Amino acid sequence: MLWIKALHIVFIASWFAGLFYLPRIFVNLAMVAADSKAERDRLLLMARKLYKFMTILAVPALVLGLWLWLGYGIGRGPGQGWMHAKLAIVLLLIGYHHSCGLILRKFEAGNMQRSHVWFRWFNEVPVLMMLAAVILVVVKPF
């Protein structure tokens, strides 16, 4: 079980790295001048590759987490409300991941209208969710 936990943490940390960095690429894309095709193409290539890689990382992270939850019973039983809250955060993170893919498609199509300031705020969402998830897992407040 400890090996599964360790791998789960490694894949989650790697997935979060992508969730932190992809919106940062969006900030840069939103700031690219209209006549800078080479810069825009390079940033789009980076964003596509990162999105694909972080999607690949998310799958084993989620599978290992399910294995720990369902296979070993971690977080099941009375007094495990923290796990329900953590799972809600995981669902929100999956939605955030999906929204990053939608945003990437809009950038690729050339019809993204949001400013770099909006993406700077959007970039903070996974930080807050990670903070909440870590507190829930470590402190287990309920």
Q: Is 86 annotated as a binding residue?
A: yes
Model pLDDT for residues 28-37, shown as the tens digit of each residue: 999 999 899 9
Match 């894309």 to its residue by tokens.
29
Indicate the burial class of 129 (C-beta count within 10 angstroms; 0-12, 13-18, 19 or more).
Answer: middle
Segment 42-81, tens digit of pLDDT? 999 999 999 999 999 999 999 998 888 888 887 777 888 8
The mean-pLDDT minimum among 7-11, 57-61, 71-75, 126-130 falls in: 71-75
Answer yes or no: is pLDDT of 26 > 90.
Answer: yes
pLDDT surpassing 90 at residue 142: no
